[in-house]
Amino acid sequence: MKTIIAACSQNLSGSRASIQTALRTLLAVPWPSQRDIGSALQLLAVLQWVLSFLLLGIVSLLLLIYLLFTSLWLIPVLYLAWIIFDWDTPEKGGRRLSCLRRWTVWKHFRDYFPVKLVKTHDLSPSHNYIIGSHPHGILCVGAFCNFITGSTGFEELFPGIRSFLTTLAGNFRLPVFREYLMSGGLFPVTRRAIGYLLSQKGTGNAVAIVIGGAAESLSCRPGVTTLILKNRKGFVRMALRHGAFLVPSFSFGENDLFRQVVFEEGSWLRSVQRRFQKMIGFAPCLFYGRGLTSCRSRGFLPYARPITTVVGEPVAVPKVENPSRELVDRYHELYIRALLKLFDENKTKYGLSESDELHIL
């Protein structure tokens, strides 16, 4: 019995010593600093945004199709009925939710890069505006952060101005994803939707359009400042019809967020991209960024590179119900001049050299 008691005592002492050693080891491990916690929150904010834009629509569609063949079939049926009833809402101003635009996660999203908005001229609330957003980049991070979220202070910099952002109309055909887009202030890049905001919502509306679109994303790579703009004149015609002033904006650093495999013009792979773009509205780009665990690994997250969006001087536009081609060309040229001026005056301030030029195709 004494031998058993002694053995148990030794085991208890050993266990106690092991626990004490483990506790000392645990306490010796440095706790995450406030900076580490902030970096983790920034990474998660960007992760949820990328996953939302790349997967939310498709996953929601597949889930609703699956539910149709289960005992929960009533859910997708009711939602389909709702979409049919609500079909025109995206082209009639959508359902913008201010609380979502002020969501704290967007501040972490902003700080990841970081993204900054720079004002060069006032915008009067007595007018409506079409803001040309350049360049497109891969995922339009600068345009989204500045014109959709309130994290960079657009409403404080431009009092009385409400900002909206256009995106592909096909995105609003995807279940759940359409609600997500509308709640932030996104709407289809169609004449009807843009015309509604510029004519039915009073004044003080700023509609941001990424003019280069999917075609411009095909040439997106670090160090390249090429825009697809020379034959893009529909936004000018819309501005003239509604008397909306044209405002150039440029996001310096947008093209540095990803690395893309760019196929040469004339190659069969480039032609496949072009055809795909014409059929479904966006171009299939082969790109990569950083991984989730390390900035040195490869993945689908953007690199942490600073983005500075500079909003330029508005070009006053008269209201002409049926503008002629000559009038459209004239204001298109005025817009290009204002954009070139904006680029040249700010390029050396935000990472480019004096010799860098803005090429417009």
Phi/psi for 88 (5° steps) reads -85, -5
Assigned domain for 117 exists: yes
pLDDT of residue 298: 86
Is the four-CA dihedral 257, 261, 265, 269 of positive or negative sign? negative
82-108 burial, b at 16+ Cβ within 10 Å, e below that, comes to: ebeeeeebbbebbebeeebbebebbbb
pLDDT of residue 93: 85
Judge whether 269 and 263 are in contact, CB under 8 Å: yes
Residue 116: CB atoms within 10 Å: 20
Assigned domain for 12 exists: no
Q: In sequence order, what DSSP letters do the residues of 321-336 get, joined into one string?
A: SS--HHHHHHHHHHHH
Judge whether 144 and 171 are in contact, CB under 8 Å: no
Assigned domain for 10 exists: no
Assigned domain for 210 exists: yes
Assigned domain for 24 exists: no
- Specify the 3-state DSSP secondary structure of 4: helix
Assigned domain for 85 exists: yes
Contacts within 8 Å (CB) and 24+ apart, 28-34: none
Find the DSSP H helices in the chain. Answer: 2-28, 34-51, 57-67, 74-85, 98-101, 105-112, 141-147, 154-157, 177-184, 191-199, 213-217, 234-242, 268-280, 325-346
Assigned domain for 22 exists: no
315 DSSP 8-state letter: B
Q: Which tokens go with 306?
A: 């600073």
Distance CA 4, CA 6 (A): 5
Distance CA 357, CA 45 (A): 34
pLDDT of residue 159: 96
Range of the domain at 214: 36-360
Q: How many domains does the chain have?
A: 1
Q: What is the mean pLDDT of each run of 10 residues along the chain (361 residues)?
A: 45 58 60 80 94 91 94 95 93 86 93 97 96 92 94 95 92 92 91 92 93 78 81 95 97 89 62 62 71 84 95 96 95 97 94 88 87
Q: Which tokens go with 326?
A: 């000559």
pLDDT of residue 351: 86
